[in-house]
């Protein structure tokens, strides 16, 4: 029995040390030390020994088991280390190699202008309001006191989705006034920028899709002088201190009184030049005091509250600010153009 153990020791240790893989090593361990392994088989014969021989043989067997286990462990560690080494070798990464050149974009120039406007209004306590571009005619027209026969409702001007002219692409951001007044209670101060759509042919100053910025204030005791003071301040922040403004009477169905705001041409100082098309003035926005019918339609009592609103075109503002002469450039997304800003 002693000789058998000695033979097992020699064979097993030799096989383990030269074992080439973790799987085969595990197979060896089972073969030598498993329940049906070679050591177990030897120990089965213990019964044939004389009683006084058994303790010594038992000790020998324990020592053999421990040595084989230790050898397996050692080999396992060695195999793992060399596997890692091999992996690292294979996965070498040359950090000095030139990287892939990824082109980084930047904000669109028109959105720079929009962000500037948002900052100005947020600074005055306005909140930004977002709303649907697919709108009900009710919100785009009716609740804004625009009657059924108004030309802006015409199918030649507006993109409708339904034969009954009930659903459309909003033609203005003014329906945001209604949304704001329906889900907020005064005091209301909101700014609602967004896309609007009209059936216009594309040319240097027209696009079937463009952007407007709507503003609305509703509170107790709000007057036309608040409108003028606020908008004058905004104009100064956009166009610089000392910019001369003019509030010109106009008509919008949802404001009374209504006006348009012009700035004196900063290029020619009002004499008339190509920038202002010889007018001396540049139209900036439409505005007015919110019509009492519009207020009461939204559940706001016009005897208690009053408000003012304005709407301006974002493209025109951006064109002016960046001295861009053709609106198509804003939408074409030609990087050779956009890269300049």
Indicate which single residue of 189, 310, 318, 327 sits in contact with ligand DAH (rule: CB under 6 A): 310
Please choose, out of 24-32, 83-91, 231-239, 306-314, the segment that lies near ligand DAH by the rule CB under 6 A.
306-314
In the complex, least distance from residue 252 CB atom to ligand DAH, rounded to whole angstroms: 4
> What is the number of other CB atoms lying within 10 angstroms of the CB of residue 320?
18
Work out which of 129, 214, 262, 315 binds ligand DAH, going by CB under 6 A.
214
CA distances from 314 to 12, 35, 262, 281, 290 (A): 85, 83, 15, 18, 22
| Binds ligand DAH by CB under 6 A, chosen from 193, 288, 307, 320 | 288
By CB under 6 A, name the one of 140, 158, 230, 255 that touches ligand DAH: 255
Helix, strand, coil proportions of the chain in percent (round to 5)? 45, 20, 35
Residue environment code for 244-268, b if the CB has 16+ CB neighbours within 10 A, otherwise e: ebebeeeebbbbeebbbbbbbbbbe
Q: Where are the alpha helices (DSSP H) in the chain?
A: 2-17, 22-33, 38-44, 54-90, 109-123, 137-140, 175-183, 224-239, 292-297, 314-322, 328-332, 335-338
Residue with smaller CB distance to ligand DAH, 191 or 265: 191
Q: Choose which of 181, 287, 298, 324 interacts with ligand DAH (CB under 6 A).
A: 287
Residues of this chain, 114-173, that bind ligand DAH according to CB under 6 A: 172
Nearer to ligand DAH, 12 or 158 (CB): 158
Please, what is the minimum distance in Å from the beta carbon of residue 220 to ligand DAH? 19
Under DSSP, the state recorded for 154 is S
Both tokens assigned to 301: 């009592």
Nearest to 5 by CA among 42, 50, 53: 42
Instruction: Give the span between the Cα atoms of 234 and 107, in whole angstroms.
Output: 23
Query: 112, 134, 283, 129: which is closest to 197 by C-alpha?
Result: 134
User: Which residue, 65 or 184, is less far from ligand DAH as judged by CB?
Assistant: 184
**For helices 224-239 and 109-123, what crossing angle results, to 10°?**
140
- Residues near ligand DAH (CB under 6 A), total: 11
Considering beta carbons, is residue 100 or 147 the nearer one to ligand DAH? 147
Contacting range for ligand DAH; rule: CB under 6 A; set: 16-24, 33-41, 262-270, 305-313:
305-313
Return the range that interacts with ligand DAH (CB under 6 A); candidates 92-100, 267-275, 283-291, 322-330. Answer: 283-291
Does residue 230 bind ligand DAH (CB under 6 A)?
no
Q: How far is the CB of 291 from ligand DAH (least distance, A)?
A: 9
Nearer to ligand DAH, 12 or 172 (CB): 172
- Is residue 311 within 8 A of residue 172, CB to CB? The reply is yes
Task: Give the residues lining the site for ligand DAH (CB under 6 A).
Answer: 172, 174, 214, 252, 255, 286-288, 309-311
């Amino acid at each position: 029995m002693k000789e058998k153990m000695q033979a097992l020791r020699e064979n097993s240790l030799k096989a383990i040390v030269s074992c080439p893989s973790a799987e085969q090593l595990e197979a060896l361990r089972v073969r030598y030390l498993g329940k049906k392994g070679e050591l177990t088989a030897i120990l089965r014969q213990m019964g044939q020994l004389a009683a006084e021989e058994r303790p010594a043989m038992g000790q020998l067997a324990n020592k053999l088991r421990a040595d084989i286990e230790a050898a397996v462990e050692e080999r396992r560690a060695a195999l793992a280390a060399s596997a890692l080494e091999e992996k690292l070798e294979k996965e070498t990464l040359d950090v000095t190699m030139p990287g892939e050149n990824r082109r980084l974009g930047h904000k669109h120039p028109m959105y720079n202008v929009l962000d500037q406007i948002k900052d100005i209004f947020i600074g005055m306590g306005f909140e930004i309001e977002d709303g649907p571009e697919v709108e009900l005619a009710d919100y785009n027209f009716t609740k804004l006191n625009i009657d059924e026969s108004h030309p802006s409702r015409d199918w030649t001007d507006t993109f409708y989705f339904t034969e009954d002219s009930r659903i459309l692409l909003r033609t203005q951001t003014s329906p945001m006034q209604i949304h704001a007044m329906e889900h907020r209670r005064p005091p209301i101060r909101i700014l609602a920028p967004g896309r609007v759509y009209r059936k216009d042919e594309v040319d240097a100053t027209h696009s079937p899709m463009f952007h407007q910025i709507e503003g609305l204030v509703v509170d107790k005791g709000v007057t036309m002088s608040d409108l003028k003071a606020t908008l004058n301040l905004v104009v100064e922040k956009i166009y610089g201190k000392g910019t001369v403004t003019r509030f010109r009477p106009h008509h919008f169905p949802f404001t009374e009184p209504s006006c348009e705001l012009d700035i004196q041409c900063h290029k020619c100082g009002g004499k008339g030049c190509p920038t202002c098309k010889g007018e001396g003035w540049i139209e900036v926005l439409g505005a007015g005091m919110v019509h009492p019918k519009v207020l009461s339609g939204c559940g706001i009592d016009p005897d208690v509250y009053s408000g003012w609103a304005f709407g301006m075109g974002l493209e025109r503002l951006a064109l002016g600010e960046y001295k861009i002469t053709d609106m198509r450039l804003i939408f074409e997304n030609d990087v050779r153009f956009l890269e300049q800003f």
